[in-house]
Amino acid sequence: MAQTTVPPPSPPSTGRLPATVGLVGVGVAIAVLVAAGLTLLSGARPLASLGLPDPGTLVTVGLPAVRAVTEIAMVLTVGALLLSAFLVAPQGSGYLDVAGYRGLRAAGWTSVLWTVGAVLMVPLTVADSLGRPIGDVLDAGLLLQVVPDLTTATAWTWTALIAALVVVGTHTVLTWGWAVVLFGIALAGPVPVALSGHSASGGAHDIATDSLLLHVLAASLWVGGLVALLALAAARGPDRASALATAVPRFSAVALVCWVVLAVTGVVNALTRVTPATVFGSSYGGLLLLKAGALLALGAFGAMHRRRTVAAAAGGETGALLRLGGVEVLLMLATIGLAVALGRTPAPDDGGGAPTRTEALIGYDLAGPPTLARLLFDWRFDLLFGTAAIVLAVLYVVGVRRLRARGDTWPVGRTVGWLAGCAVLLFATSSGVGRYGPAMFSVHMAEHMLLAMLVPILLVLGAPVTLALRALRPAGRDRPPGPREWILAGVHSPAARLLSHPLVTLPLFVGSYYALYFSGLFPAALPEHGAHLLMNLHFVLTGLLFFWPLIGVDPAPRRLPPVARLGVMLVSVPFHAFFGVALMSYSTVIGGEFYRALALPWVPDALEDQRLGGGLAWASGELPLLIVVAVLLVQWARHDERSARRDDRRADHDGDADLQAYNAMLRRLAVGNRPPVAESDCLPGHTNEVAQGAAVDVDRPADPADGDVAAAQSIDRGPERAS
């Protein structure tokens, strides 16, 4: 990621920026006090409540305190990189401007604190889980032995690695493109911990985990983005006014979306843990009410920002933004401490009893065997993929309406393809197929085929990139780049060029089947809801990467000729067919330990269910491949028609210069391959046309009576056979 050309260093910021650092420091102290104090007051000692050894006050207080500092450093890193990547404009050369450079350097410092905190959380989590003092677990051999068996400790290890990667990146990159990559890496930092903890266990853990993941990501963008915006407003320099004019309106839109996501996911997550009757009278319910009140207060602050400070701050008047935003930041950081204490507090008993075996393993119960009616109508909405399907469909319709409102047309077939792809995505993840997929291999394989084959085919035929480029307004020559320019940069980026290469897409698309199911990956992924999410995401993304350069209408960094696209498609067919046959003939149950623990009464033979899944993979996978081949043949025919029409238009324009040049070439070949003939050798009344430079026109059949027979044969047979 190192750059070869380094721009001049950013001038040091002066003025009110140290006050922003002090504000964050005060907020961190408040968050630590809230997290540790409420943990003690609520009596959050999960191990002691189960009769297990208590790790002591140092771990009980230190763990939430360190976690609060670590999570604040994480959101500050995400916010600083959000500023560098999307809130301010880069230079025309592609390097970060002054404001973006400051955000990158700020992320470098906060990511160091994030890394240190995540590393400290590993032994603290081990000590808390084992019920032993922190000094007893500070042994490398013990940690290496215990950490892989503890989900939360493993999650913090992954978080520490991600944070360390961000540290390295912030000190080696200087361009906008790499800032976007670093932002994506930092945004993945909260994911491992969000997928662990008490939301990932017990009943309804699928909904609880999905809602918590969205909740944490939205909070990271909102809190971190606001702190970065305040730091930008407090800085001095000639670039501040132009940077604020771009950053303030953009962050205002991001903040509104984040608040809505926080509110919805907070309610959903709370309903999976408590009932209205248990909210009052329990420590967990009290903390939950405090957090809900803080969220409502933050929403009120956001409304005041939109009415009073956004327009003024975009124009350079930052006093009101700094005052109101400072209070908002303190409340946000205190809420992070509150959330840490809430995560340490056990939820109250709702009186429903212990979850069933099926509910404990997959998060919910199943009504019975997967009949056709249950597969079609027994729905359980997927918060991540179901929401994504609806949002993508709505955005597409909005883009089409915008085109039609200004008088442009958009093919109906593309709209049908995109909406059908979104509908299949929703059906595959939220219907009975998605509900039974984690419990039965055969249904999982049907879901796999829908996500990896049918959904990507339909989506790429919808041409979403082309629609976005036509619907979004260009930023303009003197304006900072916006979403349209970001899309163009992504399509033409080196990463897109690499990922669209057939030598990359084909192994990813076909080889991942064998790597997932014929190794230990699938059995290891079965008990983890987060692994199910990653598998579904992998299926969709690899399918999109494979079919985009083959049948996609959108512009692609690599445009293969039709015959090459058809060849790539045909090469994949036998590998896919052999995968289904291999599954049907495999004599070992893949993930047998999980399916035996689930012990569904209507699946007495897991191996037979696996063979059924292999048959579905073999049979259902061939139909989408036939669709692709048909689409390729149609596109090939249309390509030839367009080429013919283009040649006709060029011929009309230049007087058929290509044909005249071809005839001239044939005349030269005919003259060069036939020995000269004397004028006296000609029949009476005839002239030697070849000797005079005449030739037969290729637009009409050659006739010996029209001239030289040998010249006509040289046209029909080619110059190599003329004599």
Judge if 499 and 568 occupy the same domain: yes
Q: Are residues 127 and 168 in the same domain?
A: yes
Q: Is residue 554 part of a domain?
A: yes
Claim to verify: residue 438 and residue 567 sit in the same structural domain: yes
Q: How far is CA 638 from the centre of its chain?
A: 32
Q: Are residues 163 and 131 in the same domain?
A: yes
Number of Cβ atoms within 10 Å of the Cβ of 607: 15
Q: Are residues 33 and 137 in the same domain?
A: yes
> 26 and 330 in contact (C-beta within 8 Å)?
yes
Closest C-alpha to 163, from 230, 225, 235, 75: 75
| Location of structure tokens 């999905």 | 210
Closest by CA to 370, choosing from 446, 287, 443, is 443
344 and 365 assigned to the same domain: no
Residue 261 contacts residue 215 (beta carbons within 8 Å): yes
Nearest residue to 269 (alpha-carbon basis) of 316, 216, 208: 208
Kindly list the distances between the CA atom of residue 568 and the CA atoms of 82, 213, 551, 572, in Å, as whole numbers in the listed order: 38, 38, 11, 7
Question: For position 201, what pLDDT does the model report?
Answer: 60
Is there a contact between 434 and 440 (Cβ–Cβ < 8 Å)?
A: no
Residue 721 CA, chain-centre distance (Å), reads 60
Shared domain for 384 and 417, answered yes or no, is: yes
pLDDT at 494 over 80: yes
Q: Would you say residue 439 lies in a domain?
A: yes
Is 542 a residue whose pLDDT tops 80? Answer: yes
Per-residue confidence at 687, pLDDT binned at 50, 70, 90?
very low
* 628 inside domain: no
Whether 532 and 665 share a structural domain: no
Q: At 177, list the tokens.
A: 């493109």
Among 144-153, 583-592, 617-626, which is the least confidently predicted range? 617-626
What local confidence, expressed as pLDDT, does residue 696 receive? 36
Reply yes or no on whether the pLDDT at 67 is more than 90.
yes
- Name the pLDDT band for 415 (thresholds 50, 70, 90): very high
Structural domain containing residue 489: 361-618
- The pLDDT tens digits for 240-265 are 788 888 888 899 899 999 999 999 99
- Given a contact cutoff of 8 angstroms between Cβ atoms, the answer to whether 33 and 65 are in contact is no
pLDDT of residue 659: 62
CB 150 within 8 A of CB 132: no
Same domain, 39 and 186: yes
pLDDT tens-digit map of 508-524 = 988 888 999 998 899 98
Cα-flanking dihedrals φ and ψ of residue 97, to 5°?
-80, -175
pLDDT at 269: 85
Q: In a 10 Å sphere around its CB, with 0-12 CB exposed, 13-18 middle and 19+ buried, how is residue 670 labelled?
A: buried
Show which of 348, 379, 405 is a domain's final residue.
Answer: 348
Q: Which of 179, 130, 188, 132 is nearest to 155 (CA)?
A: 188
Identify the pLDDT of residue 410. 93
R_g over Cα of the chain:
33
Q: How far is CA 454 from the centre of its chain?
A: 18
Question: Residue 721: pLDDT band by 50, 70, 90 thresholds?
Answer: very low
- Among residues 599, 618, 637, the one where a domain terminates is 618
Closest of 84, 86, 473 to residue 250, by C-alpha: 86
Helices and strands in the chain: count of H runs, count of E runs: 34, 0
Query: Can you give the pLDDT at residue 705?
Result: 37
| DSSP per position, 124-190 | HHHHHHHT--HHHH--HHHHHHHGGG-HHHHHHHHHHHHHHHHHHHHTT--BHHHHHHHHHHHHTTT
Instruction: Check pLDDT > 50 for residue 4.
Output: no
The model's pLDDT over 323-356, given as tens digits with 9 standing for 90+, comes to 888 888 899 999 999 888 888 877 776 666 677 8
Which of 288, 318, 348 terminates a domain? The answer is: 348
Contact at 8 Å (CB) between 268 and 383? yes
- Top pLDDT among 122 and 199 is at 122
**CA angle, residues 546, 549, 552, in degrees to nearest 5:** 100
Q: Is residue 588 part of a domain?
A: yes
Nearest to 417 by CA among 556, 552, 566: 552
What pLDDT is stored for residue 718 in this prediction? 36
pLDDT at 392 over 90: yes
Q: State the distance between the two ends of the chain, measured CA to CA, in whole angstroms.
A: 64
Same domain for 341 and 366: no
Look-up of token digits 């939950």 = 288
Average pLDDT, the chain: 82
Decide if 652 is inside a domain: no
For residues 369 and 371, what is the distance between their CA atoms, to the nearest angstrom?
6
Domain count, the chain: 3
Q: Are residues 610 and 701 in the same domain?
A: no
Which residues make beta-bridge pairs with 175? 95
Q: Do residues 261 and 391 touch, judged by C-beta distance below 8 A?
A: no
Q: Element (H or E) spanning 473, and its range?
A: none
State the CB neighbour count (10 A cutoff) for residue 191. 19
C-alpha to C-alpha distance for 624 and 460, rounded to whole angstroms: 13
- Please choose, from the candidates 530, 521, 532, 526, the residue with its C-alpha nearest in 3D space to the C-alpha of residue 598: 526
Using DSSP's 3-state secondary structure scheme, residue 95 falls into strand
Dig out the tokens for 39 from the structure.
Answer: 């943990």
Structural domain contains residue 690: yes
Question: Token digits for 713?
Answer: 């044969």
Whether residue 10 is contained in a domain is answered as no
Shared domain for 130 and 258, answered yes or no, is yes
For residue 353, tell me if it sits in a domain: no
Give CA–CA dist 168/111, Å, rounded: 9
Distance CA 210, CA 24 (A): 29
User: Cβ contacts of residue 331 below 8 Å, gap of 6+?
Assistant: 294, 297, 298, 301
pLDDT of residue 1: 47
